[in-house]
Amino acid sequence: MKVSIFIPSFETGGVENNVILYSKILVENNYDVDVVYTRADKDKFALVDKRVNKVQIIPKIKIPSIHPRIVDSVNIIFEYYKYLKKNKKNVLVLSFQNSIIAILVCKLLNIQVIARVANHPNIVNVDGTLMTRFSNLLKNYIYRYATLIISNSKVTSKQIAINTKAKTDTIYNPSFSTKIVDMSKESIDDEVFNAIVGKKIISVGRLVKQKDFTTLIKAFDLVQNNLECNLIIIGDGEYKERLEQLVIKLNLQNKVYLLGYKQNPHKYIANSDLFVLSSLYEGLPNVLIEAIAVGTPSISTNCLSGPSEILLDGKGGDLVEVENIEELAKAIEKNLLNVEYAKEKHKIAYNSLDRFSYEKVQKNLLKLVDFYE
C-alpha cells in the first residue's frame, strides 16, 4: 500500500517534524511512502528518511504579493489530482497541511484521506485574520468529507467533532525519543552561549506572532531586575527585527540572546535552567515535550490546546495566562529561585512522557493505517 503524505509547504516547524517522524514509522514498517510537496526548506527536508520517496510538484506560478502557502496550494492542486489519479488503486492520503485541498481531491477520486489537524479550531479567536476565519468556515463544512480527522490533543479532537460532524481520533506527537536525549548530550560549540553567566532561561520557536516572544521578553525584563539571569531564544522568522528592537528599547542587549535557527536545539535546552513556552496558541508543541525529555523544568502559557495536556493541568509545570506579563514573570522567578519546586514538577511531567514516545505513537499510527488499508 502507498501512503501519500500531502504537505505543499515543507518549512521548519512542528508540522514538518511530525511528517519526518510519521513517514519514518511507516517506511520502517514496509509501507511505500511518498512525501508530496512543492516547496521545501533544504536543511529541514534533508531530515526526511532516505527510504521515503520525495515527490516534488514544481511550482509554475509565482505571485510575490500573496502568502507563499497560498501560492503553493495553487501550484499543487492540479498536479496532485493527476498524481492521485495515477495511484488511486492502492493509496491512502495523509494530509498534514492545506487539508481542504487534499480532502476535495480525494473526494473527487473516491480515495480515503486522513487529515491531521495541528491546532484547536478556536484559535480564530486569537489569530482572527480574515483569511483564518474564512479558512475555518470552509473546514467546518469540508472536513466532514474526510475519512478521518486526527489531531494531537484530546480537547482539539473533541471540538473538531462538534464543529464538523467528522469522525475524529487523537494521536499524540511522537516527540519523546532516545535520539533527542542523545542529541542533547552533544557538546556546544557556541562562544556566545558558553560565555553566558547566570541562570539560563530558554525558548525555541519561529519568530512569529503566535509564539509571543514579545511577552516573554517583557516578562524577562521584570525577572532580571531581581536575579542574575539571561534569556536565550532559538529560531528565525518575520518578527526577528521587531524583537531585536524591543531588546534594544529595554536595554537588554547583554541579557537577551537571539541565536537564530539551530538544527540541534536540544543541547541548548539541556544546558539551560528553565524552558518557557509563551505562545498565544499551539497544537501539541513538540518543543515542550522535548524540553521535558532532556531534563529541563518547563513552564507554559495555558493556551489552546496542548500545553495543559503535556503539563498535566499544571502538575508537571506551571501554566500561566496567555499574554500576562506579570504572571509569566512570577512563574519564571519562582522556578528559578525554588529549584526543588521546579525539579519536582519536572519529575511528574517526565514520568508521563510515555504517551508521546515513538513506540506508543508508532503502535497507534500503524493500527490506524492498517484499519484503512
**Which cell goes with 13?**
516547524
Q: Has domain 2-174+357-372 been given CATH number 3.40.50.2000?
A: yes
Q: Per DSSP, which regions of the chain are E strands?
A: 2-6, 9-10, 32-37, 39-40, 53-56, 91-95, 113-117, 148-151, 168-170, 199-204, 229-234, 256-260, 274-277, 298-301, 319-320
Nearest to 222 by CA among 336, 345, 341: 336
Report whether the peptide linkage leading into residue 23 is cis, meaning its omega lies within 30 degrees of zero: no
User: Residue 120: what pLDDT?
Assistant: 85
Q: What is the DSSP string of 290-348?
A: HHHHTT--EEEE--SSSHHHHTGGGTTS-EE-TT-HHHHHHHHHHHHH-HHHHHHHHHH
Nearest to 292 by CA among 313, 314, 310, 308: 310
Distances (CA, A) of 190 to 193, 234, 245, 296: 6, 13, 24, 20
Nearest to 55 by CA among 4, 126, 120: 4
Can you name the residues that pair with 232 across neighbouring β-strands? 202, 257
Q: Give the C-alpha separation, 72 to 10, whole Å.
A: 10
Q: Give the C-alpha separation, 238 to 154, whole Å.
A: 31
Q: Give the C-alpha separation, 169 to 121, whole Å.
A: 15
Count CB neighbours of 166 within 10 A. Answer: 22
Count CB neighbours of 267 within 10 A. Answer: 19
Q: Evaluate whether 2-174+357-372 and 178-355 have a shared fold.
A: yes
Q: Give the C-alpha separation, 90 to 77, whole Å.
A: 20
Angle separating helix axes 358-372 and 14-28, nearest 10 degrees: 70
To the nearest 10°, report the CA torsion of 268, 270, 275, 277.
Answer: 70
Residue with cell 505571485: 63
Region of residue 235 (left: phi > 0; alpha: psi -120 to 50; beta: else)? left
**Along the 373 residues of the chain, how does pLDDT read in single tens digits?**
899 999 998 988 778 888 998 999 999 999 999 999 998 899 999 999 999 999 998 877 777 777 777 777 877 888 899 999 988 888 999 999 889 999 999 999 999 999 999 888 887 777 667 777 888 888 899 999 999 999 989 989 999 999 999 999 999 888 888 889 999 999 999 999 999 999 999 999 999 999 999 999 999 999 999 999 999 999 999 999 999 999 999 999 999 999 999 989 999 999 999 999 999 988 888 899 999 999 999 999 999 888 999 999 999 999 999 999 999 999 999 999 999 999 999 999 999 999 999 889 899 999 998 888 7
Q: Which amino acid is at 299?
A: I
CA-based R_g, the chain, Å: 21
User: Residue 134: what pLDDT?
Assistant: 82
pTM metric for this prediction: 0.79
| Residue extents of the structural domains in the chain | 2-174+357-372, 178-355
Instruction: Identify the CATH class of 178-355.
Output: alpha beta
User: Residue 184: what pLDDT?
Assistant: 95
User: Residue 128: what pLDDT?
Assistant: 67
In the three-class reduction of DSSP (H, G, I as helix; E, B as strand; rest coil), residue 50 is classed as coil
